Structure 1
Amino acid sequence: MAVSISRKLLRSFHGSLCALGRYDSPSITCQSFRTSHDLYGHLYGDSVFSSGSCGHFKGGSSILAKRWLSTSILTPESSDGAFPSDLLSKKPMVTTERAIGLYQDLVIPVTNFHNEDKGLMVLAGDVFDVPIRKDIIHRVVRWQLAKRQQGTHSTKTISEVSGTGRKPWRQKGTGRARHGTLRGPQFRGGATMHGPKPRSHAFKLNKKVRRLGLRIALTARAAEGKLLVFDDLEVPTHKTKNLVNYVKQMENTKKVLLVDGGPINEKLKLATQNLHYVNVLPSIGLNVYSLLLHDTLVMSRDAVNKIVERMHTPINR
């Protein structure tokens, strides 16, 4: 027979268990019931526990038996006929989405261009799981675009315009406005007043903010499920069709950014140079603007390690 335990009853039951001084079995601790309580928090509606899985008390003393609380969930489709189907919960389980920005380490599968299983990799939480801040991203992107602006625009002043220095007509008696030169800004082909001159548009942005912007961009790609980790970026041949077929297999992918730890492999460079939607960068060149231009990020193991090491390096002041 199955018993449906409410949240309030389970909380009070959990508190009474933690208040006990000793148990018959050392394997049953308050931690195990905390785990059961946490499991209960992920269920939609009431939890269903087996009556055989709950510990019973002996001889009137508050001592639990050696059996643990069951963490299995029974459904009406369960093959065990000992439980009546009308007593089992028919409500679906709800898996809450992972909260972003808790600085928790992430475990991600590792693969390659052939979709082979290469194990798992742990991503540092202080690099791939930081709070999302759009204002930081905006500041870093503006800094990048301003710094790469050439600033070669130039206009000529009155001393730089070609032309005669003679007075066009006499000062008085013509009925026309008085002028001293035809190179002025009011004449066609004349000078430009207060026009642009070659200069640098770059402005200062603290290294802390720049690093934080890169962490936020990496966190956003990881949270969207658009971060892939490869064992390496080795390709068997320089043919472009292999990468084209691989990108076609990706879902909801328009532009891909491949990031390797060291110098880019020559075969990979040749295979991607004719694809406008696939770009390759070394880990030292990874930046926020490039991450925003591509909706999918593919990094090698070496690249992930280099990026984490770069984020953990102390800032020289």
Structure 2
Amino acid sequence: MELAVYNQQGQDTGRRVNLNDEVFAIEPNEHALYLDVKQYLANRRQGTHKSKERSEVSGSTRKLHKQKGGGGSRIGDINSPVLVGGGRVFGPRPRDYRFKLNKKLKDLARRSALSLKAAAGEIIVVDTVNFEAPKTKEFINFAKNLKVDGKKVLLVLADKNNNVYLSMRNVPDAKIMTASDINTYAVLNTNALVLTEGSVEVINNI
């Protein structure tokens, strides 16, 4: 698959870049996509939720009334879950939501996501991205030149660029990462995938 290469002003440079068919043109595996996105979101969970159970709430442990003969239901202390202010039955406890996936499956999911974007025509290749100073206006103009303003944009660079990162930081729905860090969730959660020529070389060999 070949795509045109644009410059920062949105002009066609006349060059073409080759996208590896083994990465950008495979048959997407929906189940692999589901598992990888599920793992990514699960790994982001803190798992620090906690509620107090019967033995943890503050209150007297005195039995409220005798077990039999009072004409009422049997009840223990004031910390009983059936009473207002009592503990919670089977409440949430701190836990780790992370789980493991095989590297081959994660690689398949990533290539499936890239293939979906390529098939949908949502990949744009630019020769390079570099701003003289970290200014948000620079990135806004860049997005307008490529006609991706107002969309969820993921900009993928070959290497880190602090000026570009700082220029994008305050733009809603705009994300930046290096080609070595690209993941399935980030690719799927975008409407415009902007790749530099350098990042294409890295992704072609993942």
Does TM-score exceed 0.5, indicating one fold? yes
Contact between 2:139 and 2:164, CA under 8 Å: does it hold in 1?
no
Aligned to 1:184: 80
The Cα offsets for residues 170-210 of structure 1, whole Å up to 9 and x where unpaired, read as: 33443222322111111111111112211112233222111
The Cα offsets for residues 143-181 of structure 1, whole Å up to 9 and x where unpaired, read as: 211222221111222211111111112334432223221
Aligned to 1:108: 3
SS where residue 204 of structure 2 aligns?
Answer: helix
For structure 1, which segment, 129-138 or 167-176, has the greater mean C-alpha deviation from structure 2 after superposition? 167-176
Q: How far off its partner does 1:252 sit? A: 6.6
Is 1:128–2:37 an aligned residue pair?
Answer: no
C-alpha change, 1:256 and 1:242, in structure 2 (3 Å) is same
Q: How far off its partner does 1:112 sit? A: 2.4
Within 5 Å, which residues of 2 pair with 1:189-200? 189-200=85-96
Aligned to 1:284: 180
Distance, in Å, in 2 between the alignment partners of 1:186 and 1:271 is: 55
Aligned to 1:210: 106
Distance, in Å, in 2 between the alignment partners of 1:283 and 1:190 is: 53
Aligned to 1:258: 155
Letter of the 1:255 partner, please give it. K
Letter of the 1:228 partner, please give it. I
> How many positions carry a matched residue from both structures?
204
Letter of the 1:115 partner, please give it. G
Within 5 Å, which residues of 2 pair with 1:157-168? 157-168=53-64
SS where residue 133 of structure 2 aligns?
Answer: coil
Contact between 1:118 and 1:231, CA under 8 Å: does it hold in 2?
no
Letter of the 2:9 partner, please give it. H
Q: How far off its partner does 1:251 sit? A: 4.4
Selected match of 2:143 from 240, 247, 271 = 247
Is 1:145–2:17 an aligned residue pair?
Answer: no
Letter of the 1:135 partner, please give it. H
Distance, in Å, in 1 between the alignment partners of 2:100 and 2:162 is: 36
Letter of the 2:18 partner, please give it. V
Distance, in Å, in 2 between the alignment partners of 1:248 and 1:301 is: 20
Contact between 1:112 and 1:118, CA under 8 Å: does it hold in 2?
no
- Once the two structures are aligned, what percentage of the paired residues are identical? 34
Within 5 Å, which residues of 2 pair with 1:1-317? 106-116=1-11, 117=13, 119-251=15-147, 254-263=151-160, 265-309=161-205, 311=206
Contact between 1:151 and 1:200, CA under 8 Å: does it hold in 2?
yes
Structure 2, unmatched stretches of 5+, are none
Distance, in Å, in 2 between the alignment partners of 1:300 and 1:118 is: 15
SS where residue 132 of structure 1 aligns?
Answer: coil
SS where residue 141 of structure 1 aligns?
Answer: helix
Distance, in Å, in 2 between the alignment partners of 1:307 and 1:154 is: 42
C-alpha change, 1:304 and 1:252, in structure 2 (3 Å) is closer
Contact between 2:23 and 2:114, CA under 8 Å: does it hold in 1?
yes
Relative to the length of structure 2, the TM-score reads 0.88
SS where residue 248 of structure 1 aligns?
Answer: helix
**Greater Cα radius of gyration, structure 1 or 2:** 1
